[in-house]
């Protein structure tokens, strides 16, 4: 496939955008789905890509929730509680429950022009 044809392929675009975003920081599946939808990539194209990335371990909502929670607690307390892991924090103290509730729920029409 020629280089120009690859850039027109929606699956290639979904893979490329998702990998670039994941290379910068952890994202939840919900976040990636919103960002792909904003780029007008249809869910029937990006859902299998995100499924594959979850199987490969590149996309993990639990890991995202742990990192997100740890960063929020550090921001509020001004320090890192090294005596506890993110997994030891109760869901009531963290954003883990919110991320789990949002998992795989993407609005039909996301923000866009």
**Digit-coded pLDDT (tens) for 11-36:** 999 999 999 999 999 999 999 999 99
CA gap 110, 9 in Å, rounded: 21
pLDDT of 53 reads 97
Question: How distant, in Å, are the alpha carbons of 61, 75, 91 from that of 86?
Answer: 13, 14, 10
pTM of the model: 0.64
Same domain as 46, residue 4: yes
pLDDT of 74 reads 85
Per-residue pLDDT of 48-100, as tens digits, reads 999 999 999 999 999 999 999 998 888 887 765 555 554 555 544 555 555 55
| 68 inside domain | yes
Same domain as 1, residue 30: yes
pLDDT of 67 reads 92
30-59 CB burial, b ≥16 within 10 A, e <16? bbbbbbbbeeebeeebbbebbeebeeeeeb
pLDDT of 61 reads 95
Domain count of the chain? 2
Phi and psi at 104, nearest 5°, equal 65, 15
Same domain as 45, residue 8: yes
| 77 inside domain | yes
């Amino acid at each position: 496939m020629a280089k120009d044809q690859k850039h027109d392929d929606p699956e290639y675009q979904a893979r490329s955008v998702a990998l670039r975003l994941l290379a910068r920081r952890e994202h939840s599946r919900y976040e990636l789905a919103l960002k792909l939808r904003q780029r007008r990539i249809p869910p029937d194209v990006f859902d299998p890509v995100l499924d594959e990335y979850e199987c490969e371990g590149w996309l993990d909502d639990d890991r995202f929730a742990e990192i997100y929670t740890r960063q929020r607690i550090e921001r509020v307390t001004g320090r890192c509680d090294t005596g506890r892991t993110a997994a030891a924090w109760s869901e009531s103290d963290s954003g883990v429950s919110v991320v789990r509730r949002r998992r795989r729920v993407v609005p039909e029409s996301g923000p866009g022009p």
